[in-house]
Amino acid sequence: MKLVHTLILAAGLGLAALPVSAQLVAAPGTNPLGTDAPAGTYGIDPTHASVTFKVSHLGLSYYTARFTKIDASLKFDPANPEGSKLTVSIDPVSIRTDYPFPDKENFDKVLAESEKWFNAGKFKAITFTSSAIKMTGDKTADVTGNLTLLGVTKPVTLKVRFNGGMASHPMAKKPATGFSATATVKRSEFGMTNAVPFIGDDVAVLIETEFFGG
């Protein structure tokens, strides 16, 4: 679930290689001091990264949860954004649902450890490795890669938007970039079939992330 999107998440990082003119166009509310981020290897800023997913619950609403432990690395060349590479790893034990009655049931633990769900005792990580990046606009790209969940690897495409980049973050004093991404994953394709169709098969993933250069 956190999947796709899971991982997805970072895939959009290849957009950091956009031309300077595109990188200087900041979305409303973003830091207007940004400049083009230089080529290199970027690591995720865990304080400004999230992987959230939602899934239909009995057709009445969408149940929403998130992962809190995410690691990602992005390698890119501003001169060749489509040649960028992204790798992501998510700890399934870090799932957070904010279940309202923790004294009655540790729902996060159930989802993380149950063989019907993420089976974290056997499968320690959810991973995504990009295989292709295709620019679809000045600030958007399709990032395709291999998502591995429950030991099953399938191709997934992230819809990524480059939000901005700067040569020096005002606080961290490092190069920085930021991206948003979405994806949809069919969990049954990875062997997570429990409670389908009462709990939806299609999982929508939403990713927000910032990266720091070395």
Residue 154 confidence (pLDDT) = 98
**CB contact at 8 A, 70 and 51:** yes
State how far the alpha carbon of 28 is from the alpha carbons of 18, 32, 116, 163, in Å. 19, 9, 42, 10
Report the pLDDT averaged over residues 17-28.
34
The boundaries of the domain holding residue 53 are 5-213
Please determine, for residue 56, whether its predicted confidence score (pLDDT) is greater than 50.
yes
Considering only 10-24, 71-85, 93-107, 148-162, which range has the smallest mean pLDDT? 10-24
Q: Which CATH number does the domain housing residue 157 bear?
A: 2.40.128.110
Please determine, for residue 16, whether its predicted confidence score (pLDDT) is greater than 60.
no
Residue 165 confidence (pLDDT) = 85
Count of structural domains, the chain: 1
To the nearest 10°, report the CA torsion of 13, 28, 23, 44.
-30
Report the pLDDT averaged over residues 108-127.
97
Please determine, for residue 148, whether its predicted confidence score (pLDDT) is greater than 60.
yes
Phi, psi of 2, deg, nearest 5: -60, 0
Mean pLDDT (the chain, rounded): 84
The Cβ of residue 170 has, within 10 Å, a number of other Cβ atoms equal to: 10
Report the pLDDT averaged over residues 178-192.
97
